[in-house]
Amino acid sequence: MTYCVGMQLDAGLIFMSDTRTNAGIDNISTFRKMFTWEVPGERVITILSAGNLATTQSVVSQLEERSKVPHERRPSLLEAPTMFQVANLIGETLRDTIRGGALANGANAETQFGATFIVGGQIKGMPPRLFLIYPEGNFIEATKDTPFFQSGETKYGRPILVRAYEPGLSFAEATKLLMVSFDSTLKANLSVGLPFDLQIVPAGECRIGLETRIDADDPYYNEISKGWGNALKQAFRSLPDFELHLQ
Amino acid sequence: MTYCVGMQLDAGLIFMSDTRTNAGIDNISTFRKMFTWEVPGERVITILSAGNLATTQSVVSQLEERSKVPHERRPSLLEAPTMFQVANLIGETLRDTIRGGALANGANAETQFGATFIVGGQIKGMPPRLFLIYPEGNFIEATKDTPFFQSGETKYGRPILVRAYEPGLSFAEATKLLMVSFDSTLKANLSVGLPFDLQIVPAGECRIGLETRIDADDPYYNEISKGWGNALKQAFRSLPDFELHLQ
């Protein structure tokens, strides 16, 4: 499995992804799931991938190849005029890749080769935008009502996002929120694993503001992980107990 | 979907289940998923059901019918000498019901008719025991390492259980823990719904100590639900922010 979150804030975009892939529980590997195309000051586009690794790697390779040979028949991520067109382009590439694999392997293979992308970024002169792209190639965009997208093993880490997210969070606070959400997932599910990749894209700058990898001995992550366990217990204790009247 | 938890404590057993069933998102109903057979002081047996409603209702009806006609060929829940035999009996009835439905509807129907039971209780002179029964009819028993079972929509409510469970929790504290776990699930998933059923079985008494239904206007549940949101936010704020150095 996988766990990825892309989040829209007043301050810009923030992304986090784990790095565990598995084919069965006894075959796990570490693969980066965060990919970025950047022309600093002009555009920044980040993808978080979830799903069949062969599919996602193929899509990323195709996007990458095209971005290095501009003026091809198919436009590249670096030429698309808007983030909507970027999402369209990635969606089409994803769908064609899945269909190609399915055509070569029988009709039922479409699910097997499926993948989902969270795509966010900003092109100069336009606001930052965030999309969730489905295996079918279509996509939805984050709004004020639904300002973040999760992919992969989304459920464990969702309650804290739902409750603590605010658009006005600073990047420092949002990083903390993502750490807690990822830590809750990690504690409950073997298919999500360290290290995590973190990226921050400040609004209006069209460039990566911060990109870092959080590994198992990262002191801040460990402080959060341990601190969150204690803070949760304390939060739990702070609530009134049920008034019990046994029969 | 469904959310049920059965939990073993030093003090005894505690059970909670939601009541929402759905066949598609536009066809939801309220059904009780908690069933108890009790001979106060001699034995108490509680089932929490998850899965295909026709299957679970059929199993419960069969168990109920047999308990009213003792000395039948097949033993009843009220005659089984140990909780292990109780689990065996329920598992066999579940498996036979699923197989019967599948035989009548084609081989692939077995998954469709599937169901899972959490079963707990106590028979006089023996300790309380807690089981998770699979659609195949076999089952596992709770231990000190894994002292609670969840069924249905388990993921949202799991992180708080993993972090706040302790065997020494009082029933009042454990009720609070279950309320928080159920509330986290409810906030994130439409397929789990109020009212909830709560039951407490004090160790050594072989009877129901408390059974109550928690509905949407239950004052304690609302206090917990609101209080937990605030306590979580405060717990979150109490952790140090990430030290951010943008490039």
Residue in A187, A188, A236 closest to B177 by CB: A236
Check CB contact of B12 with chain A, cutoff 8 Å: no
Check CB contact of A40 with chain B, cutoff 8 Å: no
For tokens 């089981």, name the residue.
Answer: B131
pLDDT digits (tens, 9 = 90+) for B112-164: 889 999 999 999 999 999 999 999 999 999 999 999 999 999 999 999 999 99
Residue type present at position B111: T
**How far apart are alpha carbons A16 and A1 in whole angstroms?**
15
Q: What pLDDT band is residue A102 in, cutting at 50, 70 and 90?
A: confident
Q: Point out which residues pair with A200 in neighbouring strands.
A: A14, A210
Q: Please write down the long-range contacts of A212-218, taking CB distance under 8 Å and 24 or more positions apart.
A: A214/A179
- Percent pLDDT > 70 in chain A is 97
pLDDT digits (tens, 9 = 90+) for A205-215: 999 999 999 99
User: In this predicted structure, what is the pLDDT of residue A73?
Assistant: 65
**How far apart are alpha carbons B6 and B13 in whole angstroms?**
7
Please give the CATH architecture assigned to the domain spanning A3-238: 4-Layer Sandwich (3.60)
B165 contacts in A (CB within 8 Å)? none
User: In this predicted structure, what is the pLDDT of residue A206?
Assistant: 97
**What tokens appear for B132 in the block?**
């998770």
User: In this predicted structure, what is the pLDDT of residue A70?
Assistant: 66
Check CB contact of A108 with chain B, cutoff 8 Å: no
**How far apart are alpha carbons A195 and A200 in whole angstroms?**
17
Find, in chain A, the residue whose alpha carbon is nearest to that of B238.
Answer: A231
Best A187, A241, A243 member to test B by mutation, with max B CBs in 10 Å, is A241
Tell the burial category of A170 from Cβ atoms under 10 Å away from its Cβ (0-12, 13-18, 19+): middle
pLDDT digits (tens, 9 = 90+) for A201-245: 999 999 999 999 999 999 999 999 999 999 999 999 999 999 988
**What tokens appear for A155 in the block?**
């459920």
Give just the sign of the alpha carbon dihedral A93, A51, B157, B198.
Answer: positive
**How far apart are alpha carbons A211 and A199 in whole angstroms?**
4
Q: B12-17 and B3-9: which strand pairing?
A: antiparallel
Q: Which of A161, A82, A168, A92 is nearest to A128 (CA)?
A: A82
Find, in chain B, the residue whose alpha carbon is nearest to that of A226.
Answer: B239
Check CB contact of B245 with chain A, cutoff 8 Å: yes
Q: What pLDDT band is residue A20 in, cutting at 50, 70 and 90?
A: very high
User: In this predicted structure, what is the pLDDT of residue B73?
Assistant: 65
Q: Is residue B227 classed as helix, strand or coil in its secondary structure?
A: helix
**How far apart are alpha carbons B124 and B78 in whole angstroms?**
12
Cβ distance B239 to A224 less than 8 Å, yes or no, reads yes
Asked if residues A6 and A157 have their Cβ atoms less than 8 Å apart, the reply is: no
Q: Point out which residues pair with A39 in neighbouring strands.
A: A43
Residue in A162, A180, A233 closest to B188 by CB: A162
ipTM of the complex: 0.84
Cβ distance A187 to B246 less than 8 Å, yes or no, reads no
Q: Point out which residues pair with B200 in neighbouring strands.
A: B14, B210
**The 3-state secondary structure of B25-38, one letter per residue:** CCCEEECCCEEEEE
**How far apart are alpha carbons B43 and B128 in whole angstroms?**
10
B161 contacts in A (CB within 8 Å)? none
pLDDT greater than 80 at residue A7: yes
Strand stretches in B68-178, DSSP E: 115-123, 129-133, 139-141, 148-152
Residue in A177, A189, A209 closest to B247 by CB: A209
**What tokens appear for B1 in the block?**
């979907």
Whole-number Cα distances in Å, A109 to A2, A105, A160, B65, B207: 20, 6, 35, 46, 53
**How far apart are alpha carbons A200 and A172 in whole angstroms?**
10
Find, in chain B, the residue whose alpha carbon is nearest to that of A175.
Answer: B242
Cβ atoms < 10 Å from Cβ of A31: 13
Residue type present at position B81: P
Averages of pLDDT over each 10 residues, chain B, 247 residues: 96 97 85 96 97 94 88 81 97 93 74 92 98 96 96 93 95 97 91 95 97 96 94 93 86
Whole-number Cα distances in Å, A129 to A10, A134, A200, B115, B246: 11, 16, 13, 43, 20
A219-238 helix and B219-238 helix, angle to the nearest 10 degrees = 150
Q: Which residues contact B106 (CB under 8 A, 6 or more apart)?
A: none
Cα of A189 vs its chain's centroid, Å: 17
Check CB contact of A232 with chain B, cutoff 8 Å: yes
Check CB contact of B164 with chain A, cutoff 8 Å: yes
**How far apart are alpha carbons A56 and A54 in whole angstroms?**
6
Cβ distance A156 to B158 less than 8 Å, yes or no, reads yes
* d(CA B205, nearest CA chain A) in Å: 11
Q: Point out which residues pair with B133 in neighbouring strands.
A: B117, B139
pLDDT greater than 70 at residue A10: yes
User: In this predicted structure, what is the pLDDT of residue B117?
Assistant: 97
pLDDT greater than 90 at residue A112: no
Q: Which of A33, A196, A19, A216 is nearest to A117 (CA)?
A: A33
Check CB contact of B209 with chain A, cutoff 8 Å: yes
Best A242, A243, A246, A247 member to test B by mutation, with max B CBs in 10 Å, is A242
Annotate A109-132 with b (16+ C-beta within 10 A) or e (fewer). bbeebbbbbbbbbbbeeeebbbbb
Check CB contact of A39 with chain B, cutoff 8 Å: no
For tokens 């784990």, name the residue.
Answer: A18
- Percent pLDDT > 90 in chain A is 81
